[in-house]
């Protein structure tokens, strides 16, 4: 931020509500009390440190996961104000930690730009913690206060010692309350590392250190002086860029700051990620619209002026000009309005023009000053446009025209007889042999089976036209009935449950990731509508006398074994894959409505799969292999 703003005044703090409300309905404040909610506590405190950094007073932030799953966040900012607040009669520190909606975000004054989705901050974390300590270094003094049992002050803020005059900063340590976070109070190192790295990319020059002091000591430092330029470099790490340098444009208008970094690679997909005040605006919004609009206009103008597009040629579409593009858009706004289903769409109308202005000015200059790169980029749009026209023709092949047509294009699909989509299901099954068992096990009226032979095409490496020349993808599209691209119509979806059924091994994970990516790219509304599921076939069949019990994993097996007499000698079959199950096993465990476990795929799951595909599934085989070996199992355990 270029400009420092007026300081908080102790009176700025508004006194609104007590912490009891937070403990009664924690979901309202942090979204949920699941693992996601637990990590939300960390983000609230880290966001406060980042705010201080954005105001220009702090360079170093440290996050420590302590032995008992405590969290410590340290910053080297000015230190929170320690004086008395006139409205509450309490110290500012105590006010910030005990009064809901206190702090500059709601009280006026304070930071020009502030992160955090909820902005409820420190008091919510305090309310949901068994204990919380805050230490402030300020004016050569050290101040300390502790709270316990959901935010009750143990004592008031006290000066507990002295420090060097130039040492300033704030340290907060807390222990999440297991009575609130009943699912888990264990932090996931990778979740913290991923977000802290993202914050370091989005806020150049801030050093963020993550330390894990639990069993095995881990430490990572994130510092990117190149900011989002380095973010794009990382995203393109396993890809082949078609020009040397990442382009970077920035500008500020009316206190709204916009940064864009971008680089084209030789793949066929766009990876455009946008952020506002460090929040990932998954649903896009005006900053993204402005930049995309300008990109399409400028490339079209350039192509017309340089006769790459002739007078009669159709203009390039947005998708044409974004083919192979990796782009980060980061907006910092003093008063962002978030809209959309998940409140991750920037709504501020004024941003559209600012984003367009900042981006077009920079990008036009880039094209003028770099004619070779300009030609490479515009040629890529041109090839994409030609491929789009070819795909349009190929798409015709996926349209159901007559019943005869349907038979010809539906290949190995064993369709269901019902025409009522709400009760119809399609199982996409790995392998012909499992497909055979599934066909015998199904209820023909409501359950359709589509066996997949081996792996489906990796859409990362193919344009829509090639994807459509793949028989299995074409069959799937025809079966779904929705059409694709401009023709897509969710109302025409023929099955309200699309179930991916693969083996619980590395190959199965790979197929799941490929399918999710295919759906995410070409059929997003079926994921958004909650129509996609992952089947959970069991790992063991245990036969004991006349009883047959199926269990999902080793833990469940041990649990069941413990219920049998020690002398019992049950027969245990371990299924290596779906192909080893007979029709009866498959029906009783994975397909019948009474017994099966289906996990609904969320848009976040699909987004994660897509990101993995684009980061790990490019031309280079090694990163894919390593990734699948290390993480494949996570994608057979998608959380819903």
How many residues form the binding site for ligand 0R9 (CB under 6 A)? 23
Using CB under 6 A as the binding rule, whether residue 75 contacts ligand 0R9 is answered as: yes
For residue 604, the number of C-alpha atoms closer than 13 Å in the C-beta half-sphere is: 8
In whole angstroms, how close is the CB of 50 to ligand 0R9 at the nearest point?
A: 9
Pick from 110, 435, 508, 538: which binds ligand 0R9 (CB under 6 A)?
Answer: 110
Pick from 7, 386, 393, 574: which binds ligand 0R9 (CB under 6 A)?
Answer: 7
- At residue 427's C-alpha, the angle toward residues 425 and 432, to 5°, is 150
Instruction: Establish whether 594 is a catalytic residue.
Output: no
H or E stretch covering 251? strand 247-253
Instruction: Provide φ and ψ at 17, rounded to 5°.
Output: -150, 165
In whole angstroms, how close is the CB of 25 to ligand 0R9 at the nearest point?
A: 24
Instruction: Establish whether 556 is a catalytic residue.
Output: no
Give the 3-state DSSP-derived string for 295-352, with helices as H, strands as E and coil as C: HHHHHHHHHHHCCCCCCCCCCCCHHHHHCCEEEEEEEECCCCCEECCCCCEECCCHHH
Nearer to ligand 0R9 among residue 44 and residue 465 (C-beta): 44
Nearer to ligand 0R9 among residue 123 and residue 382 (C-beta): 123
Q: Which of residues 375-394 bind ligand 0R9 (CB under 6 A)?
A: none
Nearer to ligand 0R9 among residue 169 and residue 508 (C-beta): 169
Please pick, among 52, 472, 503, 605, the residue that the annotation labels catalytic. Answer: 503
Cα–Cα distance between 330 and 257 in angstroms, integer? 8
Instruction: Provide φ and ψ at 549, rounded to 5°.
Output: -130, 130
Residues 64, 193, 62, 8: is their CA dihedral positive or negative? Answer: negative
Pick from 22, 38, 45, 638: which binds ligand 0R9 (CB under 6 A)?
Answer: 45
Nearer to ligand 0R9 among residue 96 and residue 374 (C-beta): 96
Q: Which of residues 148-177 bind ligand 0R9 (CB under 6 A)?
A: 170-172
Pick from 22, 30, 41, 49: which binds ligand 0R9 (CB under 6 A)?
Answer: 49
In whole angstroms, how close is the CB of 556 to ligand 0R9 at the nearest point?
A: 42
Candidate ranges 77-85, 316-324, 403-411, 604-612; the one touching ligand 0R9 (CB under 6 A): 77-85
Instruction: Establish whether 430 is a catalytic residue.
Output: yes
Q: Which of residues 115-144 bind ligand 0R9 (CB under 6 A)?
A: 122
Cα–Cα distance between 221 and 200 in angstroms, integer? 9
Provide CB contacts within 8 A for 435, sequence distance 6+: 412, 429, 449, 450, 451, 452
Other residues' Cβ atoms within 10 Å of the Cβ of residue 323? 22
Nearer to ligand 0R9 among residue 61 and residue 468 (C-beta): 61
The two beta strands, 279-280 and 256-264, are unpaired
Nearer to ligand 0R9 among residue 96 and residue 208 (C-beta): 96
Instruction: Establish whether 221 is a catalytic residue.
Output: no
3-class DSSP assignment, residue 276: strand
Pick from 80, 100, 261, 578: which binds ligand 0R9 (CB under 6 A)?
Answer: 80
DSSP string, 57-90: S--EEEEEE-TTSEEEEEE-SS----SB-TTTSS
In whole angstroms, how close is the CB of 626 to ligand 0R9 at the nearest point?
A: 36
Q: 31 and 40 in contact (C-beta within 8 Å)?
A: yes
Helix axis angle, 228-235 relative to 189-202, nearest 10°? 130
Cα–Cα distance between 579 and 586 in angstroms, integer? 10
Q: 51 and 43 in contact (C-beta within 8 Å)?
A: no
In whole angstroms, how close is the CB of 447 to ligand 0R9 at the nearest point?
A: 54
Pick from 78, 352, 474, 541: which binds ligand 0R9 (CB under 6 A)?
Answer: 78
Please pick, among 221, 283, 289, 507, the residue that the annotation labels catalytic. Answer: 507
Pick from 33, 88, 92, 512: which binds ligand 0R9 (CB under 6 A)?
Answer: 92
3-class DSSP assignment, residue 269: coil
Instruction: Provide φ and ψ at 471, rounded to 5°.
Output: -60, -40
In whole angstroms, how close is the CB of 4 to ligand 0R9 at the nearest point?
A: 9
Nearer to ligand 0R9 among residue 110 and residue 451 (C-beta): 110
Q: 61 and 73 in contact (C-beta within 8 Å)?
A: yes
Pick from 48, 203, 409, 536: which binds ligand 0R9 (CB under 6 A)?
Answer: 48
Nearer to ligand 0R9 among residue 88 and residue 276 (C-beta): 88
Which residues of the shown chain bind ligand 0R9 in the complex (CB under 6 A)? 7-8, 45, 48-49, 52, 73, 75, 77-81, 92, 96, 103-104, 110-111, 122, 170-172
Residue positions annotated with a catalytic role = 430, 503, 505, 507
């Amino acid at each position: 931020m270029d400009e420092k703003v007026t300081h908080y005044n102790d009176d700025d703090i508004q006194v609104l509500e007590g912490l009891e409300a937070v403990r009664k309905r924690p979901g309202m404040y942090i979204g949920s009390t699941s693992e996601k909610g637990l990590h939300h506590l960390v983000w609230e405190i880290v966001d406060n440190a980042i705010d201080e950094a954005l105001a220009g007073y702090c360079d170093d932030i440290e996050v420590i996961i302590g032995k008992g799953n405590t969290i410590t966040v340290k910053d080297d900012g000015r230190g929170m104000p320690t004086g008395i607040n006139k409205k509450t009669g309490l110290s500012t520190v105590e006010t910030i930690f005990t009064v809901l909606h206190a702090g500059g975000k709601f009280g006026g004054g304070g930071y020009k730009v502030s992160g955090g989705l909820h902005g409820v901050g420190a008091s919510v974390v305090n309310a949901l913690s068994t204990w919380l300590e805050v230490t402030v270094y300020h004016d050569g003094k050290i101040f300390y206060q502790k709270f316990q049992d959901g935010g009750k002050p143990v004592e008031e803020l006290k000066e507990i010692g002295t420090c060097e005059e130039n040492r300033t900063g704030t340290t907060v340590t807390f222990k999440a309350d297991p009575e609130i976070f009943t699912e888990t109070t264990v932090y996931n190192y990778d979740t913290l590392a991923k977000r802290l790295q993202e914050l370091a990319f989005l806020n150049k020059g801030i050093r963020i250190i993550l330390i894990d002091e639990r069993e095995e000591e881990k430490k990572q430092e994130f510092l990117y002086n190149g900011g989002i330029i380095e973010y794009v470099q990382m995203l393109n790490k396993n890809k082949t860029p078609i020009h040397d340098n990442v382009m970077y444009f920035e500008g500020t208008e009316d206190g709204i700051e916009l940064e864009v970094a971008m680089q084209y690679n030789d793949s066929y997909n766009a990876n455009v990620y946008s952020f506002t005040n460090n929040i990932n605006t998954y649903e896009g919004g005006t900053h993204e619209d402005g930049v995309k609009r300008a990109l399409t206009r400028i490339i079209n103008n350039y192509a017309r002026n340089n006769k790459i597009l002739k007078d009669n040629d159709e203009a390039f579409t947005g998708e044409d000009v974004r083919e192979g593009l990796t782009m980060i858009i980061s907006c910092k706004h003093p008063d962002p309005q978030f809209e959309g289903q998940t409140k991750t769409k920037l709504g501020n109308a004024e941003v559209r023009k600012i984003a367009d202005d900042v981006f077009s000015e920079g990008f036009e200059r880039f094209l003028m000053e770099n004619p070779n790169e300009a030609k490479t980029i515009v040629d890529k749009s041109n090839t994409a446009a030609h491929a789009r026209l070819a795909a349009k023709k190929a798409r015709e092949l996926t349209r159901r025209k007559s019943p005869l047509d349907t038979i010809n294009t539906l290949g190995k699909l064993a369709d269901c007889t019902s025409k009522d989509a709400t009760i119809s299901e399609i199982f996409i099954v790995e392998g012909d042999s499992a497909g055979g068992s599934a066909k015998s096990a199904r209820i023909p009226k409501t359950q359709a089976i589509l066996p997949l032979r081996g792996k489906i095409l990796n859409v990362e490496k193919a344009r829509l036209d090639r994807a459509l020349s793949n028989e299995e993808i074409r069959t799937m599209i025809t079966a779904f009935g929705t059409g694709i691209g401009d023709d897509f119509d969710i109302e025409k979806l023929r099955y309200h449950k699309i179930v991916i059924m693969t083996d619980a091994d590395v190959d199965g994970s790979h197929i799941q990731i490929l399918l999710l990516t295919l759906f995410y790219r070409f059929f997003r509304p079926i994921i958004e509508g909650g129509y996609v599921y992952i089947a959970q076939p069991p790992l063991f069949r245990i036969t004991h006398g006349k009883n047959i019990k199926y269990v999902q994993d080793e833990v469940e097996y041990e649990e069941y074994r413990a219920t049998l007499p020690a002398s019992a000698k049950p027969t245990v079959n371990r299924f290596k894959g779906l192909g080893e199950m007979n029709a009866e096993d498959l029906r009783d465990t994975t397909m019948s409505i009474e017994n099966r476990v289906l996990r609904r795929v969320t848009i976040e799951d699909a987004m994660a799969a897509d990101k993995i595909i684009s980061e790990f599934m490019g031309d280079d085989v090694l990163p894919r292999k390593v990734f699948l070996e290390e993480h494949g199992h996570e994608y057979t355990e998608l959380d819903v």
